[in-house]
Amino acid sequence: MKVQLVKLAHARSGDKADWVDFGLFAWNEAGYRLIEREVTAGRVQAHFAPWLPGQVTCWRLPNILALKLVLQGALQGGGARNLRMDNLGKSMAAALLRMEIEVSPEEFAEAVAALRVGWWPG
């Protein structure tokens, strides 16, 4: 089945010159196994390609259940010359969370049911 990353992960984007970077964070180890397997530089590049055809690089950080991604050529040359309303790409991490990955219903159920690592009282 296809699921959007937003169901398995959270994310923040930032900018340096014309590059937007993303931290993508699984809520738990079961979720991390899925995003580590399914989220590759090539797939993220293909996801953004209809909008921003720049190159993507990906690093894996299993120690904090995270992926780091950088998309080049994302800001019309940089924040101070970008004509978009979101000139710094602050909302672009949400565009990454729109991406769909392929998982089995069992894997998905396991990742959603597993406890979060972080402290979220209530």
Partner 1 sequence: MQGTVRIGAGLGFYGDAWEPVAASIERGGVHYIASDHLAELTLAILQKDRQRDNTLGYARDVVPMLMKLRPLMQARGVKFICNAGGLNPAGAGAALCAAFAARGWKVRIAVVTGDEVLSQLNAIAPPHMFNGQAFESVRERMVFANAYVGARPIVSALQQGADIVVTGRVADAALFLAPLVHEFNWKLEDANTPADLDRLAQGLAVGHLLECSGQGSGGNFGSQDAWKAIPDLAHIGYPIAEVGENGSALITKAQGTGGRINFDTVRQQLLYEVHDPAHYASPDVVMDLSAVRLQDLGNDAVRMTGVRGHARPAQLKVVGGFRDGYKAEVTWGFSWPDAYDKALAAVDMVKAQLADRRMGHDELFVEFPGLNSAHGPLAPLPSSEALAELNEVWVRLVIRTQDKAVADGFGRLFPWMALSGPAYTCGFHGLNSSSELLGIWPALIDRQAVEAAVRVEVLQS
Strand, coil or helix: what is 43? helix
Helix (H, G, I), strand (E, B) or coil at 3: strand
- Locate 65 and state its tokens: 């259940």
Nearer to partner 1, 37 or 84 (CB): 84
The DSSP annotation for 50-84 comes to TT----EEEEEEGGGTEEEEEESS-STT-TTT--S
- Shortest distance (Å) from residue 27 CB to partner 1: 8
Q: Which is nearer to partner 1, 20 or 107 (CB)?
A: 20
Least distance to partner 1, CB of residue 102, Å: 19
For residues 58 and 107, give the distance between their C-alpha atoms in angstroms, rounded to a whole number.
23
8 versus 107: smaller Cβ distance to partner 1: 8
Q: How far is the CB of 37 from partner 1 (least distance, A)?
A: 19
Q: Which residues of this chain interact with partner 1, rule CB under 8 A?
A: 6-7, 10-19, 21, 23, 25, 27, 47-48, 50-52, 57, 59, 61, 63-64, 66, 68, 70, 72, 77-81, 83-86, 88, 90-95, 97-98, 116-122
Q: How far is the CB of 104 from partner 1 (least distance, A)?
A: 22
CA distance 44 to 71: 9
